[in-house]
Structure 1
């Protein structure tokens, strides 16, 4: 039976190789950063590793990574949305002095998590950070459901976000560093899991909040006081979500049994382990792999921190990774533009969610007071629409548009519908435009998520990715503060957001690297 399975996989691999040849025969087969001569020996070894990964091809191991790494993607959106969904009911019970506190707590946790786990992944490797961060997220999400007051709830939300936000940095990096070049478009497709995470959050909320929540006294004057006993719904949402995350984090350990990524090992000068890992995958899935330690040794000896006598745990070690993101002029420009893009989308997306409902209300849009069923039905429709943006983006990235112009199209189309949305006046129009915008926005967002690790040097990928997402989180914190103190009824924020999308499209067009037809380094 096992031999039959292997035979089928071998045939599938041969078909993949044929597709790869036909798809890339007219394209340059260079590595993306091959011409950036920071370390010719490392470039040569990375080229051999890319050849070996392409030779092995796409296997069941990669499908496991796609699903379980993708779930890490989903967790980020799951945690962010759950805290916003349950905030109102938790506030009725705790009467907090700062209602937006949970949003800030979540973004602070994700900011620290992105920086900590991103840098840690470059120092001690992807494997430990990849596994531990999601376990932390699951444990504290469960504990958040038992919070006795608003401050403790905020603490546990922050700690859960610390794990989930850090894991997001690693999901794309780990998947990319095992992925054959002719399937790199799947990195964009993986962003569809973001919408799945939102959908899961909506289903949990739909199941528990309408049936196990106290009533809002401002809407129902005769409502009984809100206590823990009559307001268990938001706690059930946390318990269920945390349990799901914990189970999936354990599946990552037992199903994938992740080995350290080959590209990290090469960057650390651990050539023997790199070859051993690739040969293990090739043997397990009956694939060819001609890479040998002798071929790696023939390239020379890589200049690593160990050979330089520097401690990788000190500030100098961290600074080495930051400096590596500016090792050449083009890499430096690329890094700066990527970080700027993350900063802008981190401000534009929350501002859109914060200001648009109040703006529409001030202009006479009448949506009525929908029932809980209608509320969560609409929520499900919107989140379901978001899943398919990255699916279209994945296809677009595999065409001549490439990554850069897929982002340009996504940003400009989003901006167009964003302007059109200001004319919404009915509940049906509101749902329709929200679904369309969520779909279009995820074309840009999903591609940016994939593009970022693709063009970063492997040795500094975790740090660069972590700082990029960190800037995004800082803007999320800022948007929560703005929502508290600003006038949400004016048109100014709407036009600012639209201008930001135009600016993001312009930045994407001048990115110095285009991964289409090339291989990540």
Structure 2
């Protein structure tokens, strides 16, 4: 690994890395886009289909992403990063488009789950692939990569603004104040949410084609090292160096002199022993095991705190006298503004994470504590300008923490088992998303207790960040 890292540093940052930054960023954007789509369309689709369980789409997308995170994470360590990287966005585009033609609530839920399955591996593969090509002095760019997450949210907001604002494409609320249906919402009078899905599906399809035609990704050097494919690894390095006129002194003999890699895989790739090796590798030493557990805990905490806060917020504010009387147009405009704010958090986080005094750990601490402060302050919101201002501030501050956690996770995981550990971390996050939807269905949403619990969870995240045993600043990833 030391020799391979030397070769990556010797070649340096090339135009190939810029392509990876953009095309891997597509995966981030799609992940956030898909998570928001189900919440964006659920109200209008519900007017048409009159579902008995209104939070079904939320559970569907999180179930799909949970399964996808485990599947793509494990497969990326077993059969390689390249296949999953090229295929996952195609699956997303197909089922996002098909979901727009769903004839009923149940089928819509199935298609939402399937698009979630396709997108479930994006956060895992994008960070893993990008990191395994980056020179050590540019590893902080993985944190900056999370700006694409905010861009994906902003795109979702603009698409919703365009198609869900005009009355000609959207039914008015067919229910009275008692929840009794007083009018019919038909297919042809409610096309707005379907146009949202068709447009999003087309956009994701363009992204998936661009990944294959522009980048033509080869298998990452660190995966090839774990496979023992030294000759291919060296050939790929020299081909990149020749293309971009960079020096490259790595040879097969240098790698052979270190011995033969034997521990990265089982006897057969599709076996229980293969999965066992990747799981055990995350606990190879006591320190590595502690790091793995704390990472998974962090993803679990943020997975519960963030959606739960927004589940309870509207009812809580209404019970305290807040009244946001805005038009549909203004609602989606504000939605887009809040999501745009999330773009800049990871940009600041990338700068902070590359500062010796803070590093990755204390950037996460600062992001978590600032978010907690804004969460507490948000409970005092009473007017629409206050609502927009604090929403934008939370979107910005939260992504300082989130963006750094995205990057920190693959940086400290061992390369041969990186996608597995990352996949389990993201799966923990998705489980909490499912739980938040269930809690929202059965709990009292007007009490202040959940708000303070969410804020306390951010304090816990800051404490966990301090306890992380590894600080990647100034070090090369495995």
- Taking structure 1 as the reference length, the TM-score comes to 0.89
- Conserved 8 A contact 1:56-1:282: yes
Mapped contact 2:175–2:181 kept (Cα < 8 A): no
Match of 2:6 in 1: 51
Please state if 1:420 is matched with 2:377: yes
- Tell me the CA shift for residue 505 of structure 1: 0.1
Aligned equivalent of 2:162: 207
Shift, 1:283, TM fit: 1.0
Aligned pair 1:192/2:151, yes or no?
no
In the other structure, the counterpart of 1:91 is 46
- The reply on whether 1:269 has 2:228 as its aligned counterpart is yes
> Structure 2: how far apart are the matches of 1:280 and 1:158?
40
Counterpart of 1:239 in structure 2 is 198
Residue equivalent to 1:16: none
Partner of 2:334 in structure 1? Answer: 378
Per the alignment, in what secondary structure is the counterpart of residue 116 of structure 1? helix
Q: 1:149 maps to what in 2?
A: 104
Distance apart, 1:171 and its partner CA: 0.4
Q: Deviations over 1:323-368 (max 9, x none)?
A: 1000000000000000000000000000111111111111111212
Contact 1:82 1:201 in 2 (8 A): yes
Alpha-carbon spacing, 1:403–1:222, altered in 2? closer, same or farther (3 Å): closer
What are the Cα deviations for residues 47-74 of structure 1, in whole angstroms up to 9, with x where unaligned?
1111111111111110110001001001
Instruction: Identify the match of residue 282 of structure 1 among 219, 222, 241.
Output: 241
1:316 aligns with 273
- Quick check: 1:491 aligned with 2:429? no
Contact 2:226 2:264 in 1 (8 A): no
Query: Which SS does the other structure have where 2:219 is aligned?
Result: coil
Deviation at 1:305, TM superposition (A): 5.6
Normalised by the length of structure 2, the TM-score is 0.97
1:467 aligned to 405, 421, 424, which one?
424
Partner in structure 2 of residue 107 of structure 1: 62
CA gap of 1:312–1:451, structure 2 versus 1, over 3 A, is: same
- The equivalent residue for 1:17 is none
Equivalent position of 1:329 in the other structure: 286
Deviations 1:211-243 (A, max 9, x none): 211111236999852111111110111011011
Structure 2 residue 434 is the aligned partner of structure 1 residue 445: no
| SS at 1:355 equivalent | helix
- Aligned equivalents of 1:423 and 1:208: distance in 2? 32
Aligned equivalents of 1:213, 1:277: Cα separation in 2: 53
Residue 304 of structure 1: how far off its partner (Å): 3.8
Moved more, 218-227 or 470-479: 218-227
Asked if 2 retains the 8 angstrom alpha-carbon contact of 1:215 and 1:223, the reply is no
Structure 1 residue 315: deviation in Å? 1.3
Which sections of structure 1, spanning at least 5 residues, go unmatched?
1-45
- In 2, Cα distance between equivalents of 1:314 and 1:67: 35
The aligned residue for residue 210 of structure 2 is: 251
1:65 aligned to 2:20? yes
**Residue 355 of structure 2: aligned partner:** 399
Instruction: Verify the 8 A CA contact 1:268 1:304 in the aligned structure 2.
Output: no
Matches within 5 A, 1:8-47: 46-47=1-2
Q: Secondary structure at the match of 2:120?
A: helix
How well do the aligned residues superpose, as a CA RMSD in angstroms?
1.3
Secondary structure in structure 2 of the residue aligned to 1:425 = coil
d(CA) in 2 for partners of 1:222 and 1:510? Answer: 53
Confirm or deny that 1:137 pairs with 2:92. yes
Q: How many residues align?
A: 473
